Structure 1
């Protein structure tokens, strides 16, 4: 116990660095997980809603077709493929977010080891900086993927709003701005926010730790 007290007294700088690493990394991790979970739920709602709409849409010419709908139009077919593209990039962004969350968790383990009284168990500066550098790069890649998804989703909303004349709900239901289109766009925006939080935390720690360790 006396040896441990001496180590902690001699190395208050390491204690401070470990506390900041732990605090920032845990906050970043939980924010990323929370925003990522919200993005996943939105994507699930969008995918399940799209599948449900395709399942319940009647076949043209079959009994039960709504009067006034133009016959001969396949309403199961997406007229704008941007939704599928947006969902794809959104899923890629979620995968990248899981990786950056894992890196944030690794930083918390480094902080725990840094507080250990045995200096031989302390992580090397090169290892900590390497993980932070990878986290920054992965965060930028994840933001790029989710930006592509968000751009595709917003493009769908824009094209549908422009091509939506008076009475479009009667003549061409496929041009209606549906809630699933908005869910996809919101999922991408939430994913971008999650990646921004992780990237900002990793970049801030990287710049702060470089002269400290």
Structure 2
């Protein structure tokens, strides 16, 4: 009798974990996807605007955008991992025990998700530092220009609205990585209880 109740308890626990994986995976997937698409659209707009606008771009901004795009590429990996969480949840809900992934495999996928998001967040934060440093330099140098010289000044020396969009794109990417990291840590905590 005891074995039957242990089996039912284990089955109920696996079912609960499976539902948690599916729900958390879908929430993480859509959060990252929406934030990533918005950030990617802004960065593409910024990149093409700089190229077609003909203005000189600052080296810090160029390197910052490179790192921001690298963070977005890492976010694509995070989105794939979040989708994998939904598949793990589906497999855990399978009535056939053979289809269920082993705990070690599941923990491995969760660790991969955490690594992807840590690396992506690091790249994006370095990109944000480069971009904000460039904006700080622009703001400090624009204050030194006299009002009579403004008409003759190079417009690339002033903070443009496009510069703020790039900061917004970086913020969206960091938020997406943070959401994926929270999902991975929470699922790892749930599975190792």
Q: What is the TM-score when the length of structure 1 is the normalising length?
A: 0.81
Which structure 1 segments of 5+ residues have no match?
A: 1-6, 55-75
Structure 1 residues 181 and 196: alpha-carbon distance in aligned structure 2, compared to 1, 3 A threshold: same
Output the CA distance in 2 between the equivalents of 1:166 and 1:104.
52
**Match of residue 139 from structure 1:** 117
**Match of residue 146 from structure 2:** 166
Output the CA distance in 1 between the equivalents of 2:109 and 2:62.
33
Is 1:156 the equivalent of 2:134? yes
Output the CA distance in 1 between the equivalents of 2:47 and 2:120.
21
Match of 1:192 among 174, 178, 181: 174
Q: What is the TM-score when the length of structure 2 is the normalising length?
A: 0.89
- The alignment yields a C-alpha RMSD, in angstroms, of 1.7
Which structure 2 segments of 5+ residues have no match?
A: 1-6
SS at match of 2:50: helix
**Is the 2:75–2:177 Cα contact (8 Å) retained in structure 1?**
yes
Structure 1 residues 182 and 169: alpha-carbon distance in aligned structure 2, compared to 1, 3 A threshold: farther
**Match of residue 92 from structure 2:** 114
Structure 1 residues 160 and 134: alpha-carbon distance in aligned structure 2, compared to 1, 3 A threshold: same
Superposed displacement of residue 10, structure 1: 7.1
Superposed displacement of residue 169, structure 1: 3.7
Superposed displacement of residue 158, structure 1: 0.7
Superposed displacement of residue 77, structure 1: 3.4
Cα displacement string for residues 63-93 of structure 1 (whole angstroms, at most 9, x for unaligned residues) = xxxxxxxxxxxxx433x31110111001100
Output the CA distance in 2 between the equivalents of 1:193 and 1:142.
11
**Match of residue 161 from structure 2:** 179
**Is the 2:17–2:190 Cα contact (8 Å) retained in structure 1?**
no
**Match of residue 77 from structure 1:** 56
Larger Rg: 1
Match of 2:82 among 97, 100, 104: 104
Is 1:123 the equivalent of 2:101? yes
Cα displacement string for residues 30-70 of structure 1 (whole angstroms, at most 9, x for unaligned residues) = 0000000010011011112112210xxxxxxxxxxxxxxxx
**Match of residue 4 from structure 2:** none
**Is the 1:169–1:176 Cα contact (8 Å) retained in structure 2?**
no
Whose helix proportion is higher, 1 or 2?
Answer: 2
Output the CA distance in 2 between the equivalents of 1:14 and 1:123.
11
